[in-house]
Structure 1
């Protein structure tokens, strides 16, 4: 039996993946997982030209990425089945600021990924505290046993200039030491005036194989963003969501801040390893360790309320935020494969640990108003410093989990259970008065998953499952009171189909999710950035996805999701029955591409896609955001088909929102909206040898 790596080590060819490590923490066929799981392959990321995690997720059923629009430097806010998803890298949770603030949430560069796996529904039984909507697990590029050499240059909309490289292969003649070094540097403006998208990304990796039974891979990352301006580009509803009665609509590029004052810097570093050891053909051990450090500095002007009665003047306020996160994660897994009579077992036992320390320091100050329809920049704004609030928090979690995947003929039963011990603490200081408040909460919780599948010989697999999760937090409300842990459960029934002899996969599922103690934004405008806790939220729905990489050069991805979501219990009677903010009821997408197989255009790939997002609402359910339909397109050509001297060269052109459709991505409690991404055209030249 071959050893089982911590994650699938290489990319899948085409759009269809058949195995997963995310769904069970063991190397398992997708069709046997009793939950919906979707995999975005490296080919899909490349062919669609995804530049962010949000762009990579655009064609997945029931996923709502890019909620805060094109102006946001936070690519990490992703909704699954109506809830904010938790992000994992190589099976371990990324810092998300859950101890105090999401400003220090980690981000991931897609060029450094092999695949993205989406596990839908509560997954606490394997991953500890996690969202009821599910998790998004990204898989890093790993060292390769065969030489890999790739360089890339990209240009296009908004004066973009980007270079990237990806090198890998054996270090020694015997192949006992392998390496991978991936990097990217970008200098670019954006669709918003004065905002930049400058990035440096470096990811070295080394694999040591002292024996056939043991593999140790050391993984590092450094990411630096210098965006020059802020993500606080909320614009008034009058002029975005609704045409201004006097001045019409605001353009995509309108900036509400002050270029001479605003600033956003992010520095992020990761170092860790993945150890795999096979004791014999039946028993193997894996350990993953990672330390992550994230620092964010933000100085920005934000709109303060709606437009004044003259229909053009917007009040603003100055903000200063310093946020940090230091996180250590460890995950140990022991897998044993054995039989008891007619039953075949894949048994897993694991112990994981997470220690996240965060700080969140805030300053507030005055700022001059702006004529948002005819702005004049260059006004003096004083840095408020950290004059409002400082907060430090810690979250420690220790989890012991076990799972047994049991096969009897065509039946597959999956039984998972976990107990977590958590300790959360936070200390908040009001700068002006030096008043301090301290909260501390120790808790424990059991979460589980039970699923049953029947895999027919023709590739059809119906299943049912029940799963739970919980989310402790040291976050407090505006008055310093700690929130209760969030708990959730899901019932799911679905069917998967992988027809024999065809490179295709079909999935459909119905589900019912309930979450208690849900957090949402505080509707009181005098409580900026604060949140409150509701009673219960219900999300019921259906999602389906089809993926095909067919013969004769065709590829297809299709998805649809329906969500019936609402607040079912609350201490505030007016909130009962409200829909969840920024959560569409209907969502659908379709992507198809074709590669010419012969003739003078052999090697030319033409692709096109449609993305539909239904109507959404704001947290108070007083503002309706209309639906939008966007069109994407792509062209790829392997230049080696034109001349043997160009073998290994590939030219790609991708267009997103091809018809430059104007749309609003979301609106907040205090009237203000963010605009979606306008047309972006990028040309990429890649050379491999």
Structure 2
């Protein structure tokens, strides 16, 4: 198994640590292997995962490395009940990730990433996984601590931060589709006293993809500086930049006939088929963010923390989409041109005062916080005609006129202020968690319909209380049952096709589960049953002429259970196993025919297992082998008229520690990873947004890394 940064490295923010299974782990720092025991995502305090009354799963940097994940969605492939890559291999977004059937909210270092408000996700941040220490999945409503968020849960990504012990790593990667990638990760003290630490992480990639004419070129750079003027004060500045150019369209929709269903005349469409026009299509993305994390301890029991981040995201996109199904000849596909200019600027601020104290036999960890979020987004759309294409034998090169911005312009402002409080109360082995929050959320939108020259303005002024109550009992054996109740509140600046504002989405969840971290074994087990109900759910507009718009339904019910096991029972062996069951149903709707339908893209069954082993002694010492199986059950489109079949995929890995070959190679490792080893052909989704999406074909990556 790939080994992470030694757990003795000091994180950028000093937190109390507890030695679990011999690991000095804290909520913000690295994890050696696959099993994390502490997290701040579920409580905003450094807390053992056993004591948090919600399900939390942690994907560590070692797992990302061992499985060769190239996106955050790929890194979540073996996490229970999480479905990423919904829009297939051609998608350039992680925002379409589902948790317990609902769209996940994306956070970085505990602060919400911009979601574009009015841009229907086009400017949602994309995070490079090489720049992450861990990815944490918190299931269930989490508005109490984080403000507006959905009922399924959130994904909180933890950036790599400066280390007190020097770290130097370089990587070279090649593989399928002409991939050439280089990366580096450098960290350590700047001064002899270790009061100033740095970390510089970068990645550059030139690569094609499985789809003709779609590239995957990327430039990423992140700089972090930690200043510790005293033992009580820490300031970490975090900044990063991501750039993508000429990636063509963010999606590649293909007709149902020839992908999901057999074409009566022609063969099945290959993974590589491109429905756009390479001479016209374009996709440019720029992301910049800068912020800081500050902490000061007034005493051993009282501390203040403040996190701030400013983000500026923009995309320029033009391309061709399929327009309807195949014509009567079963090969001609009509197309239409579109163009999108979108940008989002967001400022997030989170202040927290934490106190630890006793009242008689009760031990308290109390938290009082105030956070603020401001987001301004712009979304300009143009549409125009384009030539058709013989999709089974395409000839590219047809001229396409850039439509400009001739359809719609939309601007949105979102302001949210929240004040929250939490108390984690311990009595013997009992832990009760009570949280409450009040939000003030204001949104303003201006929709200008270019054709008729009409402008629609809308605004909302929402106030809401959200809360969470949970109770856990931690046995000496490491067994911890719990129950919890939580609510969520999610205002949105998005509007319907006519520009009318949507009502806030609200939800509640009941959850009961068990967590287990056995003594003497580096392992963790989480299992939970849950019942979620969400009101005012959004769904794609059923009118094909409004394919980019959404409408608001009534109530959705999701019930089920999920279980995940992570273990390293012996040196060199790592195991991950997960399973999730979902029963989704629309229980109330403004469209009567929708009642009883399933949520789109939410599989009823989903499971996976991964294992790897590195030989510890003998003639094969240093060799490692691994493999995994992923199963995703059948799903439906939004109208529930199209069923997407289940699929099973196999992954494999082989690695060698070159230091076992000769001492001069110490620190060098070579790995080869194959994803979808047997090149299973599968469809990830079909919907009223034009067409079906193909999944990722077999991809082989070879990586040479060197640490010193």
Shorter-chain TM-score bucket reads: over 0.9
Matched, 1:224 2:243: yes
Deviations 1:166-204 (A, max 9, x none): 001000010010000000000000000000000000001
Alpha-carbon distance between aligned partners in 1 of 2:507 and 2:419, rounded to the nearest angstrom: 19
Matched, 1:214 2:225: no
Matched, 1:662 2:673: no
Aligned counterpart, 2:168 = 149
Matched, 1:4 2:15: yes
Aligned counterpart, 1:366 = 385
Deviation at 1:100, TM superposition (A): 4.2
In the superposition, relative to structure 1, how do residues 155 and 70 fare at CA in structure 2: closer, same or farther (>3 Å)? same
Deviation at 1:601, TM superposition (A): 1.4
Aligned counterpart, 1:104 = 123
Instruction: Tell me if the contact between 1:568 and 1:577 (Cα under 8 Å) persists in the aligned partners.
Output: yes
Matched, 1:467 2:486: yes
Aligned counterpart, 1:163 = 182
Instruction: Tell me if the contact between 2:92 and 2:251 (Cα under 8 Å) persists in the aligned partners.
Output: no
What pairs up with 1:667-678 in 2 under 5 angstroms?
Answer: 667-669=686-688, 672-678=691-697
Alpha-carbon distance between aligned partners in 2 of 1:686 and 1:75, rounded to the nearest angstrom: 26
Instruction: Tell me if the contact between 1:662 and 1:676 (Cα under 8 Å) persists in the aligned partners.
Output: yes
Alpha-carbon distance between aligned partners in 2 of 1:228 and 1:595, rounded to the nearest angstrom: 37
Deviations 1:598-641 (A, max 9, x none): 11211111100000000001110011100000000011111000
Aligned counterpart, 1:289 = 308
Instruction: Tell me if the contact between 1:65 and 1:79 (Cα under 8 Å) persists in the aligned partners.
Output: yes
Deviation at 1:480, TM superposition (A): 1.4
Aligned counterpart, 1:179 = 198
Alpha-carbon distance between aligned partners in 1 of 2:624 and 2:409, rounded to the nearest angstrom: 53
Alpha-carbon distance between aligned partners in 1 of 2:490 and 2:535, rounded to the nearest angstrom: 10
Aligned counterpart, 2:701 = 682
Alpha-carbon distance between aligned partners in 1 of 2:571 and 2:37, rounded to the nearest angstrom: 21
Aligned counterpart, 1:476 = 495
Alpha-carbon distance between aligned partners in 2 of 1:365 and 1:5, rounded to the nearest angstrom: 59
Deviation at 1:670, TM superposition (A): 5.2
Deviations 1:628-684 (A, max 9, x none): 000000111110001101001010111000000000000012561000000000000
Aligned counterpart, 2:270 = 251
Alpha-carbon distance between aligned partners in 1 of 2:375 and 2:610, rounded to the nearest angstrom: 39
Alpha-carbon distance between aligned partners in 2 of 1:57 and 1:342, rounded to the nearest angstrom: 41
Aligned counterpart, 1:381 = 400
Instruction: Tell me if the contact between 1:5 and 1:276 (Cα under 8 Å) persists in the aligned partners.
Output: no
Instruction: Tell me if the contact between 1:229 and 1:263 (Cα under 8 Å) persists in the aligned partners.
Output: yes
Matched, 1:496 2:515: yes
Deviations 1:38-96 (A, max 9, x none): 00111101111111001100000000000000011112221000000000000000011
Alpha-carbon distance between aligned partners in 1 of 2:389 and 2:16, rounded to the nearest angstrom: 56
Q: Which runs of 5+ in 1 are unaligned?
A: none
Normalization by structure 2: what TM-score?
0.96
Alpha-carbon distance between aligned partners in 2 of 1:231 and 1:247, rounded to the nearest angstrom: 27
Matched, 1:633 2:652: yes
Aligned counterpart, 2:462 = 443
Alpha-carbon distance between aligned partners in 2 of 1:593 and 1:305, rounded to the nearest angstrom: 45
SS of the residue 1:551 aligns to: coil
Matched, 1:651 2:670: yes
Matched, 1:588 2:607: yes
Q: How many residues align?
A: 688
Deviation at 1:277, TM superposition (A): 0.6
Deviation at 1:582, TM superposition (A): 0.7
Instruction: Tell me if the contact between 2:548 and 2:689 (Cα under 8 Å) persists in the aligned partners.
Output: no
Instruction: Tell me if the contact between 1:99 and 1:356 (Cα under 8 Å) persists in the aligned partners.
Output: no
Deviation at 1:3, TM superposition (A): 4.1
Instruction: Tell me if the contact between 1:88 and 1:138 (Cα under 8 Å) persists in the aligned partners.
Output: yes
Alpha-carbon distance between aligned partners in 2 of 1:654 and 1:3, rounded to the nearest angstrom: 36
Alpha-carbon distance between aligned partners in 1 of 2:487 and 2:497, rounded to the nearest angstrom: 29
Deviation at 1:475, TM superposition (A): 1.0
Alpha-carbon distance between aligned partners in 1 of 2:447 and 2:316, rounded to the nearest angstrom: 19
Deviation at 1:144, TM superposition (A): 0.9
Alpha-carbon distance between aligned partners in 2 of 1:432 and 1:48, rounded to the nearest angstrom: 49
Aligned counterpart, 2:353 = 334
